[in-house]
Amino acid sequence: MKILVTGMCGYIGSHTAVELLEKGYEVIGLDNFSNSKKEVLEKIKKITNKAFKFYEGDMIDRNILETIFKENDIKAVIDFAAYKSVGESVQKPLEYYINNVSSVLNLLSVMKENDIKTIVFSSSATVYGNPEEVPIKETSKIGGTTNPYGTSKLFVEKILEDLYKSDDTWNICILRYFNPIGAHKSGLIGEEPNGIPANLVPYIAKVAKGKLKSLNVFGNDYDTKDGTGVRDYIHVVDLAVGHVKAIEKLEKDKKGLHIYNLGTGTGYSVLEIIKTFEKVNNIKVPYNIVERRSGDIDSCYSDPEKAKKELNFKAKYTLEDMLKDAWNYEKNN
């Protein structure tokens, strides 16, 4: 089955492309390299030894999408293409809504024109805002997002719901990621944000490598086990496997609208992440406690039961695996 993977050269897109190719799917990639690198294509080929088609382009341009659907017998789409920095989204709301929402509108209308209605959409736990309860279930309240990045994901989820209400032959799976970290065991692909990393684990890896002086821990006065923020970290390869499971479900069901949390169900604090990274990699990570980062929340971790029951998905990598693989990637690149 031919699957269009938008944002294929990105962190999660590239890991998912590897899993799809290794499972025997045919992959057609699309990326505009706004937050990824062209050499990722070679690395995907090296890891999988499989061929795939690739188009350079931006989903803002309908023509590229029309060309791809005209030239390929696409049966499903996995849509990763989006900007994803919380902090940057506060500074550049327009760019985020144009890129993260308008491009999906283009994609959905070209899919409709071609009568292709199977899509897996990359959403985020940020749509829960500051959760009323943890662990978070898919039925937990959404909204109250604290930044345009999270709001853009919320908007697209609403668009997909309205689309399905208007035509229940759509076949949609919304995946809400918690905190993806780590890298493929080969060390060839991993998290490569442009500039200084906003996220915790890539920042720690750069401090360990000596590229950054020390880590700022954003606050230790949260209502958590040690006062620092608690999050549900999931290995990016587990996350990629979750996408294959979602495609398998859509292939079977043929129509429907499904929403799943993709997390481990376990929350770790910032200090636990630092200590575990130091232990498994036998390296020191200097840090200072500083004031809170605006928009951050105390605790966010998932109840992963629904994905386990309906997708037969369960994260298998441990926190030690995640942090070992994150360091292995940093050392190799």
Q: How far is the CB of 150 from ligand WQD (least distance, A)?
A: 6
Q: Which of 198, 212, 257, 285 binds ligand WQD (CB under 6 A)?
A: 198
**Stretch near ligand WQD under the rule CB under 6 A, chosen from 57-65, 130-138, 164-172, 197-205:** 197-205
Non-local CB neighbours of 141 within 8 Å, separated by 6+ positions: 128, 129, 131, 132
In the residue annotation, 149 being an active-site residue is answered as yes
Q: Which residue is nearest to ligand WQD (CB)?
A: 229
| Residue (of 147, 81, 136) closest to 263 by Cα position | 136
Beta strand 118-124 with 74-79: parallel, antiparallel or unpaired?
parallel
Q: Interaction with ligand WQD in 125-164: which residues (CB under 6 A)?
A: 126
Nearer to ligand WQD, 117 or 231 (CB): 231
Site membership for ligand WQD, residue 177 (CB under 6 A): yes
Segment contacting ligand WQD (CB under 6 A): 23-31, 193-201, 246-254, 274-282? 193-201
Residue 268 contacts ligand WQD per CB under 6 A: no
Say whether residue 43 binds ligand WQD (CB under 6 A): no
Q: Which two tokens stand for residue 17?
A: 């492309």
Q: Which residues contact 212 (CB under 8 A, 6 or more apart)?
A: 196, 203, 206
Smallest Cα–Cα separation from 170: which of 254, 109, 103? Answer: 254
CB atoms within 10 A of CB 113: 12
Q: CA 111 to CA 38: how far, in whole Å?
A: 26
Q: Which is nearer to ligand WQD, 55 or 149 (CB)?
A: 149
Q: Give CA torsion, residues 127, 232, 283, 86, to 10 deg.
A: 0
Q: Which residues, numbered 230-249, are part of the site for ligand WQD (CB under 6 A)? A: 231
Q: How far is the CB of 168 from ligand WQD (least distance, A)?
A: 29
Distance between CA atoms of 307 and 309, rounded to whole angstroms?
A: 5
Please tell me which residue in 11, 25, 96, 149 is annotated as part of the active site: 149
Chain contacts with ligand WQD (rule: CB under 6 A): 84, 86, 124, 126, 177, 179, 198-200, 203, 215-218, 229, 231, 270, 293, 296
Question: Would you name the residues annotated as active-site residues?
Answer: 149
